Structure 1
Amino acid sequence: MTAHASPSTRRGGAMAAAPALTPALTPLVLALLAAFPLYSVAQVVPVVPRPTAPAAFVVPRPMPGWRVSGTGTTVAPVNQANAAGGTNQSINQTSQSAIYNWQSFDIGSTSSVTFNFPTQNSSALNRVTGSSAPSQIFGSLKSQYTNPDATQAPLVGGSLYLINANGILFGRNAQVNVGALIASTLNVKDADYLSGLTNSVAGRGASFSQDPGLVPSLFTDDRNFVVVDPGATITTASGGRVFLFAKNVQNAGTITAPDGQVVLAAGASIYLQDPTVEKLYASEANPNYPAVKGLLVEVGAGSGTASNLVGGAIATARGNTTLVGMAVNQLGRISATTSVTQNGAVFLLARGDAVAGSNGTVNTKRATTSGVLTLGAGSAIEIAPDTAPNTAPGGDGKPAVSDGNSTFTASRVELAGKTIEVQSGASIVAHGGIVNARAEATPNYQDSGSVNAYY
């Protein structure tokens, strides 16, 4: 089934609804169909070229002058053969942040790369500057930091940035275990990286953008991709983030970021901002409390496609998942949970051409053009009550799902696009939450003009 809005048609309001949206004519779908006429949209997921996989023993190759910024215990990565016929590579970093230039950044199926950091908040920016080939991860990629208890093993943590304008592929059986992962074909400025992205988040510029020194065709051709293949897994520590930025972003694997954020953003530039900037995303219960954990994300020029494919699974317990681009395809499964103090949120935003502005007090980055959002046949979005026991002081050990708290924020699903297509069997389940569907030719950042379903 399909729901479509003409640019001049808007309806809103609250309605009673069943606790779950099923493949039948559910309250949200009925609301969409009542407001907008039926319309058929042919949404195509771009085909990604498949280069020859690296040999099983392959690990990243450093450029001369490999460590551009920061310090470490060695002047080059340390490589050791393993029993599986692969290579174990270690990067031993002693500074909080560091910048590395690589000839290539590939990991074979029986090989591993481990970044050893001094603290949980350490990070490494890795740029592929010496090759025109995409990065291919088929083995293990890990970041860890020294355990405060010296008798115990290191803990998963720290942030890895991987920048390759030629594309990034996480192949079948790839295993990524990090504090946070930012994989992008778009570049980030050294100064902004070293600031923890605070310069661009608070400012008016893009956080990630196409490198002006690169051949323009690198954005227009089919090499500009970040893809997670079936069988690949990306997992962060609690509170971590997975940011995948390119013209074409696809997930068919499993991405998990508990208490964190997963973003698939497709465009020639990526704008990040604090969620308190936009009142639209404020809590229903407390306007001073944001209803999304993480950052708001918009994309600039470039007709990008962000897709969670059939078989793709994204899980952000008590966190946020955002897919944004001129074409957004939700064909797989997206799940989150909500507790009394932390809400789950899913944003599917088919829009782009973002520009920087100001609302009088703070800088804003807002999209100016809407695109096509597709909820594919059999796809599922679910935000369920958190069943974890309340172990806080005074807690009763039962799940903390009561909303008798002034800062309680209901779970939220935001759907936005010029055209919203809901195919047969697509489902949305948001227990105790809100589903907002905003079909409009020009993105509207005011809290009006949407079809709302309250659960």
Structure 2
Amino acid sequence: MSMPGAYAKPMGGWTPVPTAAAVAAAQTSSAEAAKAAQRSINALQRATSAIQAMQATQQAARDAAKAALARTPSGIPDGLKPGGLEPVVNTNQWIGGLAPSETKSDGRTKVTVEQTQQRAIFTWNKFNVSENTDLVFNQLSAEWVALNRVLDTAPSKILGSVKAPGTVLVINQNGIVFGAGAQINVGSLIASTLDVGPAVIRNESGNFIPSTTEWRNQNFLTNGLLGYDAPENNNLAESATFTPYVTITPTSWGGIDIVPVRNEGTIEVEAGASITAADTGSILIAAPYVINAGHLRAPQGQVILTAASSALALTPSTGSGSDPIPQRDKTQGGGEAVFAASDRNIRGAVPLPQAERNRSDLFVWNQDTGLIEAPQGNIYLRSPGNTNAYNASGWMFDNGGGITVGFGMVQNDGVLSSTTSVSRNGSIFIDAGDVRLGAGSSLIILPDTGGETIPQSPTSIADFRPSAIRIGRNASSIDMGEDAFILAPGGDVLFGRTDAYLGTMSLVINPGAEINVAGLTNVLVPISENQVFIDPAKKNELRDSPLYRSGFLNGATIYLDPRISGVRDDGVPWIGSPLIDATAYYQLVGVGVDRLMTKGGSVTLGVGVDNRFFTAPTNNPNTVVVRQGAVIDVSGGWVSYEAGFVRSTQLIDSTGHVVDISQADPNANYIGIANGWMRDHAHWGLVDTWTSSLSRGGGRWVPGYNEGRDAGIMQIATKALVLDGTFYAQAHAGANQIAAGKAGTGKSSFSGDDRLVQGGSDELPAGGALIFRPSANVRITADESAALPDGDYGNWTGGGLARQDDGTYAYTRSTLSTEPPIPADRLGALTLTDKQFSDAGLSQLSILGITEIRPGSTGAAITPSTRVATGSITVEAGANVVLNPGGVFRAEGTRVQIDGNITVPAGQIILRTAFHTNAFPLEVSTNPPTTVAPGTFAPGDFDIVVNGTLSVAGRWVNDYGAADDAIRGPGWLNAGSITMEAASHVTNWTETIGAIDPSDIRRGSILHADRVGQDRA
């Protein structure tokens, strides 16, 4: 990284030798930046290679299938022959289209279905498309839909091509196979074993009756797929988008059982098959068992693979974050509907699949040849999961295979790929009771290469949405296999959840797995972006400079350097010059998505926080395991400005001196622009101007330089933890940023992020933040305990996909292990080592073991609002936690004890304690909560104890005579702050906790908050 000089050097031939500390710091910074750049290159190359390899695999499979079928035909008759496409053409089952026609040419058979209305229903005895058949639906627009219902008792086989500008919907309850070589090119495709519409409706008496084919047909023709709105207080059977046919039988207690006609159909896309939707179109595949080994693609659209057998509800989402919730979604799956309405990363639909009571064999499987692409769109793989965990015996922490919604698995062994542009972010969602990212699999969201830009105005930049990956929101088990790969530069990746959760959840990241949301590095920016050109300047641009509104600047061509900015004495901010309002011109300079993806993203590993009112089994707590060899990277990237000439208009003042317009005084007297020299013949009203052929009109050579961007965030919410992997969170400041030494003035939108992030590109970038939300005690130690030995870890054991004797696959659910999820010595407290923090480049370490409960919170009848904590925090003797200058160390729990050393130069150290819920669970039935029994607490239970060292002293910097690449800059010289707040709310409770000195600074401890300084002659 180039380090142009920023401070004056001694005159003469003597050059002082910089301090060893300065040289070492510069070398370390440069070396770390080089490593970060190489990691970025490797990750991008790995992603590109994975996609290209999968594309080549698909092409090879297509070629092989074509050759095989040429040697041995499939046996499916071509065209409309019996056994091929067999329509049922009558007035009740062929609605909205002409009878299909057939033509032959060059050895191929073309079957055409002429659609005559926007929504049509076509019924087929068989729907088999041979390798020599092209099925074409003639539709007037992308809004037209053709529903094809298949009566066959065998799966449909599609080996040829299907084409349509609109939506083609194929329903066969016995399954569909898209064979190798199949080519589907439609506006949108829906393939399902479930029929359209709800399973039950209500008769005139308000009683449930099964919906018939005739009712479903009329509902579809009238309301389309998503237009039907069920009555209030509905259940999913009468509100879902897709359901099977059902029977209704009375129960012994006077109720009814709605029993689906069980369908076992599989929808499979074989290797070499291709399904492509039009731009903004979608692909939806829904069945109890979904297998993809082919290539699915929906540019700017959505691909949904979902396992469902008794119902599938689709909740529309525009990505606005404020979509209205249909009445049909408000009662059943209401939480999922709210999630869909509020999630800004989904443009399309949020699937809510359901299976029969206690059924747990459903699965979605993207095989190792499966390639799913949705550039600037969404990929959603989903099976039923733990959306409910309640039965008559009380709260349960495992729903036993799906008490209400069934249970299923999603396994990805292939490649899921999207892109993010400045206007449309890519997103990948995977959810199920059991989520498995197979060994060597990939989830990839790259910057889009379409060249789209947005203005660099604050509004435009704020509207940019980073890439989003969500995995296992309703899972019991999430497993990221060895060498599995997630890449989303600057993106947000969330495993599991961080809110209260009643199920037993485990998350395991295995050796070799990589989660990379680091910002892009070396994003090349032309020097022209450091140039603002105004031709001509008018009164609007001069409105804040009354002396020059009608002077020589009015109508002149002005060049400005937008990197120079400030605020005038009268409070007017400026860019390029105090004389010119150039903000609009600067903001119009387009910014590409690669520039916006240089900031590090976020990775959240969550298995739910321990519910305050119910306690999970202590022998099998929710667990996060990051094995040795796994890598998580949230480092910041940087942009690299090219070298070149930058022009800045030069002015002549009344004394003849030349002044750069960036340094001009709005109250001074300037007489012209120095483009050479001028002679004013006032008597004749003439001005002679001479310009030098050597002059660049104020241009100067600017060497190439880098500007670093903030690193990202890693967040962990768990009750048990093994963190043996490698974590990168460095930020890499450029030479100009170091020389200026400006602290960040921005504010992060991520909850719990206290860092001083960048408010402007010239400010120092912040290192990463590591945020823990524990449901247990936490200890930081200097001991580097041995990594976990080989073995299976997590709360669940066994289960998975297995090949059957008939060649099909079946899924068996894992069982809750009777053994602890991790070794016993790792239970009881989250054990962390100081080296994990000090080597990662962190600017923030927060252990947030306190939650605020406010009046009216769900399940908490508490007045006034109060804080509750979930465990103690101890920094053991010998532990040395060192964070970046200007950083934040925050520890909040029941009791905080610092026996080691915490160093945050010019930063913040915040220690807080609060009421402990595990020793005394809150009673939600009383207000205020039940009185604490005498002896429950003892003096010291809520103390903050410091036996070690807390230091927020400013840096000592010696830049005297330092070389350009060894300058450490004037940042972070002033001392920071230390804040301690010990159980300030304990008096809210009915037991008096004796005489406590809550903040105990023991003899021999050190609190260091000096201002140091800088020597930079």
TM-score normalised by structure 1 residue count: 0.71
- 1:274 aligned residue: 316
- How far 1:340 sits from its partner (Å)? 1.6
- 2:430 aligned residue: 348
Question: What secondary structure sits across from 1:158 in the alignment?
Answer: strand
**Do structure 1's residue 374 and structure 2's residue 436 form an aligned pair?**
yes
**2:220 pairs with one of 175, 193, 203:** 193
Check conservation: 2:226, 2:241, Cα contact below 8 A: no
- How far 1:443 sits from its partner (Å)? 10
Check conservation: 1:336, 1:383, Cα contact below 8 A: yes
RMSD across aligned positions (CA): 3.4
**Do structure 1's residue 331 and structure 2's residue 413 form an aligned pair?**
yes
Check conservation: 1:112, 1:141, Cα contact below 8 A: yes
Question: What secondary structure sits across from 1:406 in the alignment?
Answer: helix
- How far 1:66 sits from its partner (Å)? 6.5
Q: Against the structure 1 CA distance between its residues 384 and 403, is the aligned structure 2 distance closer, same or farther, given a 3 Å change threshold?
A: farther
Check conservation: 2:315, 2:340, Cα contact below 8 A: no
In structure 1, C-alpha distance between the alignment counterparts of 2:420 and 2:490, rounded to whole Å: 9
Which digits, 9 at most, give the CA deviation of each residue in 1:95-149, with x for residues without a partner? Answer: 11111111111100011100001222111101012x2111100000111xxxxxx
**1:77 pairs with one of 94, 97, 100:** 100
**2:449 pairs with one of 383, 387, 395:** 387
**Do structure 1's residue 206 and structure 2's residue 278 form an aligned pair?**
no
Counterparts of 1:10-409 in structure 2, within 5 Å, are: 53-55=74-76, 57-58=78-79, 59-65=84-90, 68=93, 70-72=95-97, 74=98, 76-84=99-107, 86-129=108-151, 131-143=152-164, 157-189=165-197, 190-194=217-221, 195-200=223-228, 205-212=239-246, 219=262, 221=264, 224-268=265-309, 269-275=311-317, 276=323, 280=339, 290-302=344-356, 303=360, 304-325=362-383, 326-350=408-432, 371-390=433-452, 404-409=460-465
Check conservation: 1:111, 1:139, Cα contact below 8 A: yes
- How far 1:60 sits from its partner (Å)? 1.4
**1:412 pairs with one of 468, 477, 482:** 468
- 1:365 aligned residue: none
Question: What secondary structure sits across from 1:193 in the alignment?
Answer: helix
Q: Against the structure 1 CA distance between its residues 208 and 291, is the aligned structure 2 distance closer, same or farther, given a 3 Å change threshold?
A: same
Question: What secondary structure sits across from 1:65 in the alignment?
Answer: coil
Which entry has the higher C-alpha Rg, 1 or 2?
A: 2
Question: What secondary structure sits across from 1:230 in the alignment?
Answer: coil
In structure 2, C-alpha distance between the alignment counterparts of 1:443 and 1:197, rounded to whole Å: 36
- How far 1:406 sits from its partner (Å)? 3.2
- How far 1:252 sits from its partner (Å)? 0.3
Check conservation: 2:421, 2:452, Cα contact below 8 A: no
**1:91 corresponds to which letter in structure 2?**
V
Q: Against the structure 1 CA distance between its residues 372 and 172, is the aligned structure 2 distance closer, same or farther, given a 3 Å change threshold?
A: same
- How far 1:176 sits from its partner (Å)? 0.2
Q: Against the structure 1 CA distance between its residues 343 and 251, is the aligned structure 2 distance closer, same or farther, given a 3 Å change threshold?
A: same
In structure 1, C-alpha distance between the alignment counterparts of 2:449 and 2:218, rounded to whole Å: 42
Check conservation: 1:202, 1:273, Cα contact below 8 A: no
In structure 2, C-alpha distance between the alignment counterparts of 1:83 and 1:253, rounded to whole Å: 27
Question: What secondary structure sits across from 1:449 in the alignment?
Answer: strand
Q: Against the structure 1 CA distance between its residues 20 and 168, is the aligned structure 2 distance closer, same or farther, given a 3 Å change threshold?
A: farther
Check conservation: 1:289, 1:407, Cα contact below 8 A: no
Which digits, 9 at most, give the CA deviation of each residue in 1:285-328, with x for residues without a partner? Answer: xxx77221211111112431011111100000111000101200
- 1:33 aligned residue: none
Question: What secondary structure sits across from 2:227 in the alignment?
Answer: helix
**Do structure 1's residue 449 and structure 2's residue 608 form an aligned pair?**
yes
- How far 1:82 sits from its partner (Å)? 3.1
Which consecutive unaligned segments of at least 5 residues does structure 1 have?
Answer: 1-15, 23-51, 144-156, 283-287, 351-370
- From the two aligned structures, give the one with the greater helix fraction: 2
Q: Against the structure 1 CA distance between its residues 332 and 182, is the aligned structure 2 distance closer, same or farther, given a 3 Å change threshold?
A: same
Check conservation: 1:54, 1:107, Cα contact below 8 A: no
Aligned residue pair count: 358
Q: Against the structure 1 CA distance between its residues 429 and 295, is the aligned structure 2 distance closer, same or farther, given a 3 Å change threshold?
A: same
In structure 2, C-alpha distance between the alignment counterparts of 1:443 and 1:54, rounded to whole Å: 50
- How far 1:220 sits from its partner (Å)? 5.4
Which consecutive unaligned segments of at least 5 residues does structure 2 have?
Answer: 1-35, 44-72, 198-216, 249-258, 318-322, 326-336, 384-407, 506-605, 610-623, 625-631, 635-711, 714-1017
Q: Against the structure 1 CA distance between its residues 319 and 123, is the aligned structure 2 distance closer, same or farther, given a 3 Å change threshold?
A: same
Q: Against the structure 1 CA distance between its residues 200 and 427, is the aligned structure 2 distance closer, same or farther, given a 3 Å change threshold?
A: farther
Percent identity over the alignment is 33
Question: What secondary structure sits across from 1:198 in the alignment?
Answer: coil
In structure 1, C-alpha distance between the alignment counterparts of 2:466 and 2:240, rounded to whole Å: 30
Q: Against the structure 1 CA distance between its residues 191 and 385, is the aligned structure 2 distance closer, same or farther, given a 3 Å change threshold?
A: farther
Higher relative contact order (CA 8 A, sep 6+): 1
**2:379 corresponds to which letter in structure 1?**
T
Q: Against the structure 1 CA distance between its residues 188 and 211, is the aligned structure 2 distance closer, same or farther, given a 3 Å change threshold?
A: same
In structure 1, C-alpha distance between the alignment counterparts of 2:126 and 2:185, rounded to whole Å: 20
- How far 1:410 sits from its partner (Å)? 1.5
Question: What secondary structure sits across from 2:313 in the alignment?
Answer: strand
Q: Against the structure 1 CA distance between its residues 56 and 405, is the aligned structure 2 distance closer, same or farther, given a 3 Å change threshold?
A: farther
In structure 2, C-alpha distance between the alignment counterparts of 1:20 and 1:437, rounded to whole Å: 25
Check conservation: 2:280, 2:298, Cα contact below 8 A: yes
Question: What secondary structure sits across from 2:303 in the alignment?
Answer: strand
Check conservation: 2:188, 2:277, Cα contact below 8 A: yes
Question: What secondary structure sits across from 1:405 in the alignment?
Answer: helix
Check conservation: 1:372, 1:419, Cα contact below 8 A: yes
Check conservation: 2:94, 2:123, Cα contact below 8 A: no
**1:247 corresponds to which letter in structure 2?**
P
Check conservation: 1:219, 1:247, Cα contact below 8 A: no
Q: Against the structure 1 CA distance between its residues 310 and 377, is the aligned structure 2 distance closer, same or farther, given a 3 Å change threshold?
A: same
Q: Against the structure 1 CA distance between its residues 139 and 384, is the aligned structure 2 distance closer, same or farther, given a 3 Å change threshold?
A: same
- How far 1:83 sits from its partner (Å)? 2.3
